[in-house]
């Protein structure tokens, strides 16, 4: 491909709307353009990369025995009403009507359609197991689309669905898919881990998320390097071996302290000259069954998911300021667990229960209490693990030290069992001629998101650095001076020869300065480049550079240059 006739609208400056490095690079290097919030055009360069990434995925899907098909992006809403997910998906499901006033939606996922398809076309156990997949569009009307392809409304996903006769078969299909995922993400060079997850809207009885570690990931994963324990921050637990506040926080009895205008744990701690770990902070939540007061140590985060579970509530929000003031009888920032009005449950973290020297708010303006003891000074209704694990905590399995890493979810695999087949009445005949529900699994990979994550993880200061299997071109031939006939004829020959060898080359034949051209080639992320300039002609030297490790090899003839290029591309 000639650069001059390709379409690569690269940008000199970082676009203002992008926060993530990868989002900036996608826009700057001319991979994508946003049409509307969370809706993107893949430009030729981005599309080439996307297609190559799809091929990496497709290959492993086929090896695992999955069969590709393509299902409709526009789906009748009836099938969603039948499964009951019309409601579950809420506003993320984009609904509309056709000219005959029938309800339709844009597919956010395809369980309904694939189950209906198999129900109508597979009759016997003899035709099972079967795994179908597609690499296709999905649409979720995200409230806050952001970070480019990471959280887009319209996006490309690989979704696969397995159909088995029983749970043992499902386990087998699940294992095969998991193995395929491991191959794909290893091949792409990612540092990743499967984490047991909650099933969410898709449902089912078991699911795991494939998490790729990256500094800017939105998810937090707790890891024990010692025993391999890994869990999402929502689910992770640590050992509560906390022995109570520091000596400096201890007071003989419950004592009121004057803390003028100090509201946050930090401010009060600074004023009293005590550590944040001496505090038990009291948060007031509103739920569908009234207000809850919940306490965790001052330096910790409340884990609202755990608190919901412990309190047996579905909805949980921090209470409004006026409610907090009414409940505590004091301005916000001075809440403590005593004499609260209108509170149904007091929940405390088990760590709080282990000590008696806590500093809490006094439910009084400009005052805190020291030496507060649960059970003596107030009565908790629930004692449970409601804190988020933080780095340095002890592992629940081996007491090793836990670390917390940011990660990006790129895949999610589910054992669905009979969830969809039973709702949609999808059955086959078993060996005995009896009618039974299909036992299903489903398996997703965010393809666009994976492409952006590759850029996030592997780019450098000068630009994108994709692995060869996914980079839009294998090699760039850069003509440093198109006005020089000799240089041009050598550059043209190299480009033509490489193309004839089946190498996907881009030839930079633009009438621009050498500096601009080399910068662009670096930015768009071509793994290898051959530069043709004065030196090539004068000294008969051919240079082949590798972007990843910033090295250059030289050759005195074209045959050895080509041979090396072929080697590197393997
Ligand atoms: Zn451990």
Q: Tokens representing 388?
A: 């988020």
Work out the pLDDT band at 199, boundaries 50, 70, 90. Answer: low
| H/E run at residue 34 | strand 32-36
How far apart are the CA of 209 and the centre of ligand 1, in A?
Answer: 20
Fold of 475-569: Rossmann fold (3.40.50)
How far apart are the CA of 386 and the centre of ligand 1, in A?
Answer: 20
How far apart are the CA of 241 and the centre of ligand 1, in A?
Answer: 15
Mean pLDDT confidence for 138-160: 95
How far apart are the CA of 230 and the centre of ligand 1, in A?
Answer: 9
How far apart are the CA of 474 and the centre of ligand 1, in A?
Answer: 43
Q: What is the pLDDT of residues 259-318, one digit of tens each?
A: 999 989 999 999 988 889 999 999 999 999 899 999 999 999 999 999 999 999 989 999
Using CA atoms, how far apart are residues 66 and 59, in angstroms rounded to an integer? 10
Strands 230-232 and 343-349: unpaired
Q: Cα Rg for the chain, rounded, in angstroms?
A: 30
Is the distance from CB of 522 to CB of 462 less than 8 angstroms?
yes
Task: Report whether pLDDT(17) > 90.
Answer: no
pLDDT of amino acid 89: 86
How far apart are the CA of 155 and the centre of ligand 1, in A?
Answer: 37
How far apart are the CA of 374 and the centre of ligand 1, in A?
Answer: 30
For residue 366, how far is the Cα from the chain centroid? 43
Q: Tokens representing 563?
A: 């041979």
How far apart are the CA of 74 and the centre of ligand 1, in A?
Answer: 47
pLDDT of amino acid 247: 76
Give percent of the chain above pLDDT 90.
87
How far apart are the CA of 187 and the centre of ligand 1, in A?
Answer: 28
pLDDT of amino acid 203: 63
**Residue ranges covered by each domain of the chain:** 3-235+406-455, 247-384, 475-569
Work out the pLDDT band at 204, boundaries 50, 70, 90. Answer: low
- Using the CB atoms, write b or e for 540-549: b if 16+ within 10 Å: eebbbbebee
pLDDT of amino acid 202: 60
Task: Report whether pLDDT(31) > 90.
Answer: yes
Least confident of 235-249, 345-359, 407-421: 235-249
Task: Report whether pLDDT(103) > 70.
Answer: yes
Task: Report whether pLDDT(205) > 90.
Answer: no
How far apart are the CA of 238 and the centre of ligand 1, in A?
Answer: 10
Using CA atoms, how far apart are residues 297 and 153, in angstroms rounded to an integer? 39
Q: What is the pLDDT of residues 336-366, one digit of tens each?
A: 999 899 999 999 999 999 888 899 999 999 9
How far apart are the CA of 221 and the centre of ligand 1, in A?
Answer: 14
Per DSSP, 480 falls in state S
Give percent of the chain above pLDDT 70.
99
Task: Report whether pLDDT(183) > 80.
Answer: yes
How far apart are the CA of 473 and the centre of ligand 1, in A?
Answer: 43
How far apart are the CA of 401 and the centre of ligand 1, in A?
Answer: 7
Q: What is the pLDDT of residues 42-86, one digit of tens each?
A: 999 999 999 999 999 999 999 999 999 999 999 999 999 999 999
Using CA atoms, how far apart are residues 168 and 420, in angstroms rounded to an integer? 18
How far apart are the CA of 239 and the centre of ligand 1, in A?
Answer: 10
Using CA atoms, how far apart are residues 455 and 472, in angstroms rounded to an integer? 12
| Cα dihedral 230, 234, 236, 241 sign | positive
Total-model pTM: 0.86
Mean pLDDT confidence for 113-140: 97
Using CA atoms, how far apart are residues 421 and 211, in angstroms rounded to an integer? 29
Task: Report whether pLDDT(245) > 80.
Answer: no
Closest CA to 384 of 295, 285, 316, 288: 295
- Contacts of 176-180 spanning 24+ positions with Cβ under 8 A: 176/64, 176/65, 176/131, 177/64, 177/66, 177/131, 177/413, 177/441, 177/443, 178/208, 178/413, 179/64, 180/60, 180/61, 180/63, 180/64, 180/66
How far apart are the CA of 421 and the centre of ligand 1, in A?
Answer: 39
Per DSSP, 420 falls in state H
Using CA atoms, how far apart are residues 495 and 476, in angstroms rounded to an integer? 9
How far apart are the CA of 414 and the centre of ligand 1, in A?
Answer: 25
Work out the pLDDT band at 201, boundaries 50, 70, 90. Answer: low
How far apart are the CA of 394 and the centre of ligand 1, in A?
Answer: 8
How far apart are the CA of 208 and the centre of ligand 1, in A?
Answer: 19
Helices then strands, counting H and E runs in the chain, come out as 16, 31
Is the distance from CB of 8 to CB of 524 less than 8 angstroms?
yes
How far apart are the CA of 300 and the centre of ligand 1, in A?
Answer: 21
Closest CA to 565 of 489, 488, 46, 557: 557
Is the distance from CB of 241 to CB of 351 less than 8 angstroms?
no
Which of helix, strand or coil describes residue 52? helix
pLDDT of amino acid 474: 97
How far apart are the CA of 404 and the centre of ligand 1, in A?
Answer: 13
Task: Report whether pLDDT(233) > 70.
Answer: yes
Work out the pLDDT band at 249, boundaries 50, 70, 90. Answer: confident
- 247-384 CATH pick, 3.90.960.10, 3.40.470.10, 3.30.470.20, 3.20.20.140: 3.90.960.10
How far apart are the CA of 533 and the centre of ligand 1, in A?
Answer: 57
How far apart are the CA of 551 and the centre of ligand 1, in A?
Answer: 41
How far apart are the CA of 231 and the centre of ligand 1, in A?
Answer: 11
How far apart are the CA of 200 and the centre of ligand 1, in A?
Answer: 27
Fold of 3-235+406-455: BirA Bifunctional Protein; domain 2 (3.30.930)
Work out the pLDDT band at 240, boundaries 50, 70, 90. Answer: confident
pLDDT of amino acid 251: 76
Using CA atoms, how far apart are residues 113 and 79, in angstroms rounded to an integer? 8
What is the chain's length? 570
Using CA atoms, how far apart are residues 75 and 91, in angstroms rounded to an integer? 16
pLDDT of amino acid 246: 76
List of residues 6+ apart from 552 with CB closer than 8 A: 543, 544, 545, 546
How far apart are the CA of 119 and the centre of ligand 1, in A?
Answer: 45
Mean pLDDT estimate for the chain: 94
How far apart are the CA of 240 and the centre of ligand 1, in A?
Answer: 14
Q: Tokens representing 414?
A: 């589910």
Q: What is the pLDDT of residues 464-494, one digit of tens each?
A: 999 999 999 999 999 999 999 999 999 999 9
Q: What is the pLDDT of residues 210-219, one digit of tens each?
A: 999 998 898 9
């Amino acid at each position: 491909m000639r650069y001059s006739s390709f379409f690569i609208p690269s940008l000199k400056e970082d676009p203002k709307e992008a926060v993530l490095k990868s989002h900036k690079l996608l826009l700057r290097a001319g991979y994508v353009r946003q049409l509307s919030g969370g809706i993107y055009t893949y430009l030729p360069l981005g599309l080439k990369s996307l297609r190559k990434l799809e091929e990496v995925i497709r290959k492993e899907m086929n090896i695992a025995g999955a069969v590709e098909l393509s299902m409709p992006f526009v789906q009748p809403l009836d099938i969603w009403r039948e499964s009951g997910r019309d409601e579950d998906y809420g506003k993320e499901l984009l609904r509309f009507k056709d000219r005959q006033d029938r309800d339709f939606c844009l597919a956010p996922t395809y369980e309904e359609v694939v189950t209906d398809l198999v129900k109508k076309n597979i009759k016997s156990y003899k035709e099972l197991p079967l795994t179908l997949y597609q690499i296709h569009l999905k649409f979720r009307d995200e409230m806050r689309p952001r970070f480019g392809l990471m959280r887009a409304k319209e996006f490309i996903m690989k979704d696969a669905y397995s159909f088995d006769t029983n749970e043992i078969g499902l386990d087998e299909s699940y294992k095969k898919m998991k193995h395929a995922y491991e191959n794909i993400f290893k091949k792409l060079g990612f540092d990743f881990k499967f984490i047991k997850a909650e099933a969410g809207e898709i449902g089912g009885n078991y699911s795991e998320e494939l998490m790729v570690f990256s500094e800017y990931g939105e998810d937090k994963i707790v890891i024990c390097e010692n025993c391999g324990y890994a869990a999402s921050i929502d689910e992770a637990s640590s050992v509560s071996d906390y022995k109570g506040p520091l000596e400096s926080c201890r007071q003989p009895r419950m004592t009121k302290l004057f803390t003028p205008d100090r509201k946050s744990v930090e401010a009060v701690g600074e004023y009293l000259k005590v550590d944040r770990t001496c505090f038990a902070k009291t948060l007031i939540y509103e739920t569908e069954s009234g207000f809850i007061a919940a306490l965790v140590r001052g330096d910790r985060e409340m884990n609202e998911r755990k608190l919901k579970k412990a309190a047996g509530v579905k909805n949980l929000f921090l209470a409004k300021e006026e409610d907090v003031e009414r409940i505590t009888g004091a301005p916000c920032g001075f809440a403590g667990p005593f004499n609260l009005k209108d509170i149904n449950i007091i929940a405390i973290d088990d760590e709080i229960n282990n000590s008696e020297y806590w500093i809490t708010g006094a439910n009084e303006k400009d005052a805190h209490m020291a030496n507060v003891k649960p059970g003596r000074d107030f009565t908790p209704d629930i004692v449970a693990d409601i804190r988020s694990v933080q780095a340095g905590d002890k592992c629940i399995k081996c007491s090793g030290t836990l670390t917390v890493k940011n990660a990006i979810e790129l895949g999610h695999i589910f054992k669905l069992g009979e969830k969809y087949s039973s709702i949609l009445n999808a059955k086959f005949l078993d060996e005995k001629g009896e009618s039974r529900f299909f036992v299903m699994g489903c398996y997703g990979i965010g393809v666009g998101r994976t492409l952006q994550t590759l850029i996030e993880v592997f780019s450098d200061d000068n630009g994108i650095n994709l692995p060869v299997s996914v980079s839009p071109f294998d090699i760039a031939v850069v003509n440093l001076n198109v006005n020089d006939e000799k240089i041009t004829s050598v550059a043209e020959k190299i480009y033509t020869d490489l193309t004839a060898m089946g190498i996907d080359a881009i030839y930079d034949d633009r009438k621009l300065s050498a500096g601009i051209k080399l910068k662009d080639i670096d930015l768009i992320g071509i793994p290898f480049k051959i530069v043709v300039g004065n030196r090539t002609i004068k000294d008969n030297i051919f240079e082949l550079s590798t972007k990843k490790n910033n090295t250059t090899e030289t050759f005195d003839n074209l045959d050895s240059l080509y041979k090396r290029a072929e080697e590197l591309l393997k």
